[in-house]
Chain A
Amino acid sequence: MSQFRAKKLDLGGFINIRVIRDHTKRKVFEQYEPDRQALRYIIRNTSLPQRMRAQAQLELSQMHAYTRSTQIKNRCVAGGTARSVIRDFRIGRYQFRQQALAGELPGVRKASW
């Protein structure tokens, strides 16, 4: 959502709107994580009054979608692809293949066994 987005571009490397969006989601999640955890604690604490716990449930469900960790998706830093991104290198499979064949990934080479 644009209200969370930084006014100036705060990201380097490959840029497209999906990359920026994912970046924004990561920042928002980080900012609101303590609030979410506090609400979760209230909801699960059986020693608190039922009314308060229900209220906390409502609050939690009313929080913005961007504050959820499940919104975060790893994207390729070289091409922005969201699918088949290798965690070790943070790039997609086709980018990985190209860079590996060009010898840009240290230690990676064609395997044959």
Chain B
Amino acid sequence: MVEVDELSGNSISVAVRFLHEKRNVTLLTLYGLAWENQAVAGTVSEILYSVGIGVDNHDQLAPASRALLSSSSRLGNANDSQTTVPEQEGLEEPVASPQKSESASSVPKGIKGETSTQPPSEAEAPIKEWGSRLDDINTNARLPRSVQALYLRPLRRKAQYGLPVCDLQLRSYSVRNLEFFADFAIRAAYYLNLPVSGPVPLPKIVERWTFPRGNFVHKKSQENFERITLRRLIQIKDGSPQAVQAWLAFVRKHAFYGVGMKANIWEHESIEIAKNMDQALPEIEKNLESHLSQFGRREDATSTPDMLPTFLGNERLSLRKGPLTNVRGE
């Protein structure tokens, strides 16, 4: 269940609460998926609008539910009339906005001839049983593009120069979590316009221990334990440092349980780096002045051989005698 109230404004949360009360679980999960996936690309309200939910306040709940239902069946019809889903690899631009607006705008056109069960005015439409409604959704409505994308291979940007900028290493003891999170990171990178290569499966780290089974002797009966760390490498190519930082922050924010991350970042400078550093030097020196003046030996200070005896005669060292250092009989 997505936390709707955080994500969106008033209208959507109302719609979802209503759905939840009616226990329309399929719908809920469906839209939940849509939200999660679209967290980067578009706002929630857009998505909801694309699938036909638009509720303004509590008073309009009942008509809104009808509108929702009819729109879901409409969507199916509209989808039938449209062309089939384009091939995943051929899909160049982000999945988010254009198709949504297309489907939303084409909805009223396709309805008339094809759906005989739909009455003209939505407010007086008879509400069907829940079972048949769910069937409608499952059979007629296509998934939103963003949800469809989840069933396909993650989209990728093409690297123009192929210059590695960031290496993200994921580690986990469980393949499932690791694969899932690597997939998530790659999809997130796509929506941030970052070309990615990976996930590269790095060699496993196997640690093994052997111990006696009992807590005392019996060395002959022992037991083996192991811990296998799985690793994946995701490499980002030619991204701006800001985008890479944003990506890393996003991935960290949505860190998955049982998956650890380690990132190496490289920044590339222009060829006039030396000149820039020379220019920046005076200011740095001015800042460091207070610290650097603390170092070194002052010329007017007493020399080391005079200080060392005082150190050696230090009370701290001489008074704290160890045990059994006194000669017996003293």
Contacts and interface: CB of A to CB of B under 8 A. Distances in A.
Contact of A65 (B208, B215, B323): B323
Interface string A68-110: 0000000000000000101010000110110010000111111
Interface in A23-64: 35, 38-39, 42, 48-49, 52, 55-56, 59, 62-64
Interface of chain B, main secondary structure: mixed
B317 to A, nearest CB: 5
Nearest to A105: B227
Contacts of B209: 86, 96
Contacts of B309: 52, 55
Interface of A: 1, 35, 38-39, 42, 48-49, 52, 55-56, 59, 62-65, 84, 86, 88, 93-94, 96-97, 100, 105-112
B211 A55 contact: no
B223 A110 contact: yes
A112 B224 contact: yes
B228 interface: yes
B289 to A, nearest CB: 27
A48 B311 CA distance: 14
A29 B223 CA distance: 37
Nearest to B208: A111
A106 B325 CA distance: 49
Interface of B: 173, 207-209, 211-215, 223-229, 258, 305, 308-309, 311-312, 316-318, 320-323, 325
Contact of A48 (B214, B225, B229, B305): B305
Nearest to B304: A48
20 contacts: A39-B317, A42-B312, A48-B308, A52-B312, A59-B312, A59-B317, A59-B318, A62-B317, A62-B318, A63-B320, A64-B321, A64-B322, A65-B322, A96-B209, A97-B225, A107-B228, A108-B225, A110-B226, A111-B225, A111-B226
B104 to A, nearest CB: 47
Given A55-B309, A96-B225, 7 more contacts: A35-B316, A42-B312, A65-B322, A94-B211, A96-B211, A97-B223, A108-B226
B323 A64 contact: yes
Most chain B CB within a 10 A radius of its CB, from A86, A105, A111:
A111
A107 B171 CA distance: 11
Contacts of A96: 209, 211, 225
Contacts of A1: 323
A100 B311 CA distance: 52
Nearest to B173: A107
Nearest to B211: A93
Nearest to A65: B322
A1 B215 CA distance: 31
Contacts of A39: 317
Nearest to B320: A64
B316 A62 contact: no
B326 to A, nearest CB: 11
Contact of A109 (B225, B258, B320): B225
A110 B227 CA distance: 9
B311 A38 contact: yes
10 tightest Cβ-Cβ pairs between the two chains A and B: A107-B173, A111-B226, A111-B224, A94-B215, A93-B211, A107-B227, A64-B322, A108-B227, A59-B317, A55-B312
